[in-house]
Amino acid sequence: MNSLLALGARAATMVVSLVCGVITTRMILGETDVEHYALYTLLITIPSLLTFTDLGSGAVLVNAVATSEDVRTDRKLRLQVTSVGRILLLFASGLMIINTVLLVSGGWRVLFGDAGAIPGAPLAAFLCITLFSLTVTLGVWFRILLGQRRNHLVILVQGLISPLTLGGVWLLLTVGGRAFDSFLALASYGASLITAVIGFTLVTRSTAPLIPDALRVLFRWRRVPGVRVMDVGWPMLAQMVTYPIAVGSQRYVLAQYGTPTDVAEYGVAGQVFFALNGLVMAAGVALWPQFARRRHRGELTRGPYLLSLLFGGAVAMATALVWVIGPWLFDFITRGELEVRPSTILAFGAMIMLTAAVYPLGMFIMDKPGIRFQVVPTLAMAALSIVLSVVLTPLLGIIGPLLGVAFALTVCQLIPYAIYIHRHRGRLLASDRAHDPAAEDDPASAGQPG
């Protein structure tokens, strides 16, 4: 039921996001040029490279909330929230240091390639990351909602980002004129911060006094040292950095080895396919607490293979539809300024289809041994994807990095995950209470540094 709610919420917000995204793209290309749109797409991609803001420790919250009898009074959960909150705060602080260094040293200009030479581009990047750092500090909200099997609320709240971004871009273009052309991405980051505040407020009220109690001791490092969260966090971190880096880095590879037009074409096609990927993620991530809860109760009786086929098949059908209507759709989105080739559509579809097929398998093995197992395959996938992107982009152009990720997903994740599930079927379908003493509250873990 949770997956259906999440899927329905994502479908609704995807329509809104697509409409708002199309209008935003038409507005930017109509009022500025391809180079400024390329800069905009490079800037809004940065958060997708930094999905590991909690260093993987948020996995502890998801599992703990999913199995907690009462989140309002669970003392261990409160200490876990405190520990994860501290990690988010430290990450945001470190990110601002790096952000400042990149601004002062000219690193932002180098990273963006030709787009970095646009006046105001480095300052725009600095301001965007500043807003993002503020958003990071509020990041416990969606992890708690996910553990409560309320992922549909996360999706609905985050669904506000696209319309808020559209409004922000319109405001900057209308009020600021050409002086703000390089700073249009600030609208996206501001929208993300607003939704984070809304989500944090919802969780604070619905779980009271969990969040206020955790915040009260947030800076009492010595008196309240928290609990161990990085035993799961480190292997989870390895997973969190891989796919975003493998996919998010594609635009920067294109920026270095391609042209601004290549980056812009990728950005336009990505509006459709990353919206589709968001639908996959919503349904896929919702499986995590569902599998965890059913395994905890001894109710998990079947594997994820059928779900994997359904996920992949659904994306294949969606790709075929986009391929058919692509010429009209992308001509409308870009006002005829850009051509999105059929080969780009098919390559994007292959990458998202394999991503969809992997999701149910990965969510099925999100117990501690499974999370640790996934480290090597996911790291290998990211490394192979980056190597293939660099090698194939000069040879094949925009489809090079897309096909590289698709190949890496198949070899490094899809096949190894299927083999692992087959070999460990007995453990994965049994109650975690029967084989994992760590699933029970461990008083000795209290006081361990988070």
Cis peptide, bond prior to residue 119, ω within 30 of zero: no
Domain ranges of the chain: 2-445
230 pLDDT tier (thresholds 50, 70, 90): low
Burial 290-309 (b: 16+ CB within 10 A, else e): bbbbebbeeebeebbeebbe
- Predicted pLDDT of residue 186: 96
Question: Quick one: tokens of 331?
Answer: 């001509």
- Residue 389 and residue 254: Cα distance in Å, rounded? 9
Band of pLDDT at residue 440, cut at 50, 70 and 90: very low
pLDDT band of residue 193 (cuts 50, 70, 90) is very high
pLDDT tens-place string over residues 246-301: 887 888 888 888 778 888 888 889 888 988 887 787 777 778 777 877 777 776 77
Contact between 300 and 429 under an 8 Å Cβ cutoff? The reply is yes
Asked if 16 and 291 touch (Cβ cutoff 8 Å), the reply is: no
Q: Give 438's pLDDT tier (boundaries 50, 70, 90).
A: very low
Residue 286's pLDDT is 74
What whole-number distance in Å separates Cα of residue 133 and Cα of residue 128?
9
Per-residue model confidence (pLDDT) at position 234: 66
**What digits encode the pLDDT tens for the residues 85-119?**
898 999 999 999 999 999 999 999 888 877 788 88
- Give dist(CA 85, CA 25) in Å, integer: 35
Mean pLDDT lowest for which of 87-96, 111-120, 380-389, 408-417? 111-120
Identify the pLDDT of residue 232: 59
What is the pLDDT averaged over residues 15-27?
Answer: 87
Closest CA to 3 of 310, 409, 315, 440: 310
Question: pLDDT tens-digit profile of 323-357?
Answer: 999 889 888 888 777 888 999 999 999 999 999 99
